[in-house]
Each structure stands twice: as structure tokens, then as C-alpha cells.
């Protein structure tokens, strides 16, 4: 079966380097576009509304849930995150490969439950860090508060059997190697 529409799901713990690798892909493949997610958290320094996230309040987020406008959403550390159906459709309708940066539960809905439908080719990439201490160091360097880091580190919400749903896995311990690996994966995905 030939697929005209492709979605690449990229997942991994906070601080593993997903955003860095996604930016590298976007810079190297003009036929890709990141689906911008919604969140109720406040922007971090250097983040922009409509580029990094759509920063909205909880009432608006709950209205979007009630109107069934998300393909997936989750609450994480008191904030909501979600992927709009309209965002994905706009990317796919422009004949671009849609990149989703989503949590494991959302990835399960896309990759296993196939909520986007049979006419869309969905592939998953899991980004991993070499160890827990490495993740903590990255989160500290990113400017996260220690209380938030401790909460993230104690709340590992990734059942090991979920890793089977990802066709590709990248260990992000040396950035150049991880960048080369993700470029090779996208060359394969694009065909």
C-alpha cells in the first residue's frame, strides 16, 4: 500500500533533546513541518506563541477538549498539552510530512490505536538519554526549577512495553551521532 500522507511521532523524556533533533530535521528537510501543540504552561525564555506552542489558558483548553478538537491530550505536572486535529490536517493537506512531538500516551494513540486512520503512514522515533543523571543535568541547564525536575524524574510514565511501538530508537548521548541518525531515518521515511 502506498501512503501519500506521513506522520512521524517523536517521543522521549523531557530534556532528552527532542526539540534540538526536530529543529535539525526541519532545517534539512523542507518537506517536513512540526505540528505545534497547545499547552497551558507559561512560556520558557526564548519560546514563542505559535512557534513553540500555542500558549492558552485552562478554560480554552477544556473547551477544545469538549469540542473534540484534539487527537490526543494529557495533563502533566499541572499543565495540559494537546495536539490539534486541525494542525495535523493543515500540514498533511499541504503535502508535507507532519512531525509530532508528543508524550508516550499520545504516541500510543497514534501509533497503536491508529486514530489518524488507515490512509496515513505513521512511524515512531523514540529519543533516549544514556542515563537518568544525564536527563537531570540537561533539565538544570535548560533552567528548570529543581522542584519541577524532581517531579519529572520521579514520575517516569513510560511503561517499558511501550518502546515496542517505536520503529526507530536514537540514543542521544553524542549530539552529532544523534543528528546523523535522525537524518538517516528521515531519508528512509521520505523514500
- List the grid coordinates of 78: 499541572
The predicted structure's pLDDT at residue 127: 94
Structural domain total, the chain: 1
| Angle between helical axes of 132-141 and 146-154 (0-180°, round to 10) | 150
Q: Does the pLDDT value for residue 96 go beyond 60?
A: yes
Report the length, in residues, of the chain.
191
140 in Cβ contact with 25 (< 8 Å): no
Average pLDDT of span 135-148: 61
Q: How far is CA 40 from CA 19, 62, 80, 182, in A?
A: 19, 10, 5, 29
Tell me the CATH number at 112. 3.40.50.300
Of all residues in the chain, the percent with pLDDT exceeding 90 is 61
Q: Which residue has the cell 543528528?
A: 179
Q: How confident is the model at residue 168 (pLDDT cuts 50, 70, 90)?
A: very high
What is d(CA 169, CA 125) in angstroms, rounded to the nearest whole number? 6
Q: Quote the percentage of the chain above a pLDDT of 70.
A: 82
What's residue 185's pLDDT? Answer: 98
Residue 35's pLDDT band, with cuts at 50, 70 and 90, is very high
The more confidently predicted of residues 74 and 135 is: 74
Domain residue limits at 100 = 5-190
How far, CA to CA in Å, does 123 sit from each of 7, 27, 111, 126, 155?
6, 20, 7, 10, 26
- Per DSSP, the three-state class of 34 is strand
Amino acid at each position: 500500500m502506498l501512503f501519500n500522507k506521513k506522520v512521524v511521532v517523536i517521543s522521549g523524556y523531557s530534556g532528552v533533546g527532542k526539540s534540538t533533533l526536530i529543529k535539525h530535521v526541519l532545517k534539512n528537510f523542507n518537506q517536513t513541518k512540526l505540528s505545534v501543540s497547545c499547552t497551558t504552561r507559561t512560556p520558557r525564555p526564548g519560546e514563542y506563541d505559535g512557534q513553540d506552542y500555542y500558549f492558552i489558558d485552562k478554560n480554552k483548553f477544556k473547551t477544545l477538549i469538549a469540542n473534540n478538537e484534539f487527537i490526543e491530550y494529557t495533563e502533566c505536572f499541572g499543565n495540559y498539552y494537546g495536539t490539534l486535529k486541525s494542525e495535523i490536517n493543515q500540514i498533511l493537506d499541504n503535502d508535507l510530512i507532519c512531525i509530532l512531538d508528543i508524550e508516550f500516551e499520545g504516541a500510543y494513540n497514534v501509533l497503536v490505536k491508529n486514530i489518524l486512520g488507515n490512509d496515513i503512514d505513521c512511524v515512531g522515533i523514540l529519543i533516549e538519554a544514556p542515563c537518568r543523571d544525564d536527563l537531570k543535568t540537561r533539565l538544570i541547564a535548560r533552567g528548570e526549577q529543581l522542584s519541577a525536575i524532581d517531579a519529572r524524574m520521579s514520575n517516569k510514565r513510560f511503561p517499558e512495553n511501550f518502546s515496542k511501538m517505536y520503529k526507530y530508537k536514537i540514543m542521544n548521548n553524542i549530539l552529532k551521532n544523534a543528528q546523523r541518525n535522525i537524518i538517516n531515518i528521515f531519508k528512509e521515511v521520505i523514500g
